[in-house]
């Protein structure tokens, strides 16, 4: 593991008005890792990602990306830095075509031939998107929409990709496809991945390290394989 984390949360507090969603959350993510955050409903998983991206305001603490504080950086300035999120529930642009969705992912970029090449690359990762490139995003199936959301995020050329519940509402076979591609993105494009999942089993199998989030606090941090075999985790999150 290299010494400097690419993304670091230091004693982060955040929330929605009077509701405190995160209390003193500290995370470290090193380059090339796949880190999973697992936790129950309402534990603050999505809030963690939204706080990193600046959508949910940070109350206390600090967030470092490549050693630089991104606390005061506007959300729209993060993709150019290489930090991009695939939000929960996919949130693609339903009335725009698949291709337009992808082009929007490259919004901050101006290099047209390169963008075209990246679109082709996304189509090679997800052939079904290439087949449907003129179709409106909203007419895709859930799994295809998830692929589109990931493809759109890849268009920003992320160094760190934040994935929020990529398995949400999808059939097991599609989930496996998507997780294979996530592993591929991690390996072949040297993209660091922070994965938030309710499906703990799946997430920990894909991840190298994991954090357990409970009611806004980190309660456990370990290698993913050890977490998978931790009896308490198995009891609480893996249904045993």
In the bound complex, what is the minimum distance in angstroms from residue 154's beta carbon to other proteins? 11
Nearer residue to other proteins within complex by CB, 76 or 180: 76
Q: Supply the angle between the helices 142-154 and 172-188 in degrees, to the nearest 10.
A: 10
Output the smallest distance, CB 3 to other proteins, in A. 30
Nearest CB to other proteins, comparing residues 156 and 199:
156
Report in angstroms how near the CB of residue 48 gets to other proteins at its nearest: 14
Q: Return the structure tokens found at 69.
A: 């504080």
Residue with tokens 């090449």: 117
- In Å, how far from its chain's centre is CA 101? 18
Residue 68: C-alpha distances to residues 9, 14, 61, 63, 112 (Å): 11, 19, 14, 8, 30
CA distances from 102 to 76, 144, 175 (A): 16, 13, 21
Q: How near is the Cβ of 148 to other proteins at its closest, in Å?
A: 11
Question: Closest separation between CB of residue 64 and other proteins, Å?
Answer: 20
- The nearer residue to other proteins, 61 or 79, going by C-beta atoms, is 79
Which residues form the interface with other proteins (CB under 8 A)?
Answer: 53, 55, 74-80, 84-85, 87, 91-97, 99-100, 103-105, 107-108, 134, 152-153, 156
User: Could you give the CA distance from residue 233 to residue 35 in angstroms, rounded to a whole number?
Assistant: 16
First to last CA, the chain: 33
- Kindly tell me which of 19 and 74 has the beta carbon lying closer to other proteins: 74
- Residue (34 or 154) nearer to other proteins, CB: 154
CA distances to 8, 101, 178 from 175, rounded to whole Å, are: 28, 22, 5
Tokens of 114: 């390169």
Min separation Cβ 75 and other proteins, Å? 5
Q: How far is CA 127 from CA 5, 18, 122, 130, 131, in A?
A: 34, 45, 8, 5, 7
Nearer to other proteins, 33 or 99 (CB): 99
Query: Cβ(176)–Cβ(187) under 8 Å?
Result: no
């Amino acid at each position: 593991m290299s010494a400097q984390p690419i993304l670091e949360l230091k004693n982060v507090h955040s929330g929605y008005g009077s509701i405190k969603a995160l209390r003193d959350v500290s995370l470290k993510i090193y380059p090339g890792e796949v880190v999973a955050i697992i936790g129950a409903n309402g534990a603050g998983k999505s809030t963690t990602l939204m706080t990193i991206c600046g959508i949910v305001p940070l109350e206390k603490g600090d967030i470092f990306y490549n050693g630089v504080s991104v606390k005061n950086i506007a959300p729209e300035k993060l993709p150019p830095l290489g930090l991009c999120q695939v939000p929960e529930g996919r949130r693609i642009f339903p009335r725009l075509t698949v291709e337009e969705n992808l082009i929007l992912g490259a919004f901050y970029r101006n290099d047209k031939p390169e963008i075209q090449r990246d679109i082709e690359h996304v189509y090679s990762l997800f052939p079904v998107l290439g087949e449907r490139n003129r179709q409106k995003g909203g007419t895709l199936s859930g799994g295809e929409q998830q692929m589109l959301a990931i493809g759109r995020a890849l268009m920003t050329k992320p160094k760190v990709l934040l994935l929020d519940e990529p398995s949400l509402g999808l059939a097991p076979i599609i989930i496996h496809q998507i997780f294979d591609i996530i592993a591929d993105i991690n390996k072949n494009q040297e993209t660091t991945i922070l994965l938030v999942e309710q499906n703990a089993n799946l997430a920990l199998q894909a991840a190298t390290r994991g954090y357990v989030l409970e009611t806004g606090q980190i309660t456990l941090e370990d290698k993913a394989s050890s977490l998978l075999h931790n009896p308490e985790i198995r009891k609480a999150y893996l249904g045993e």
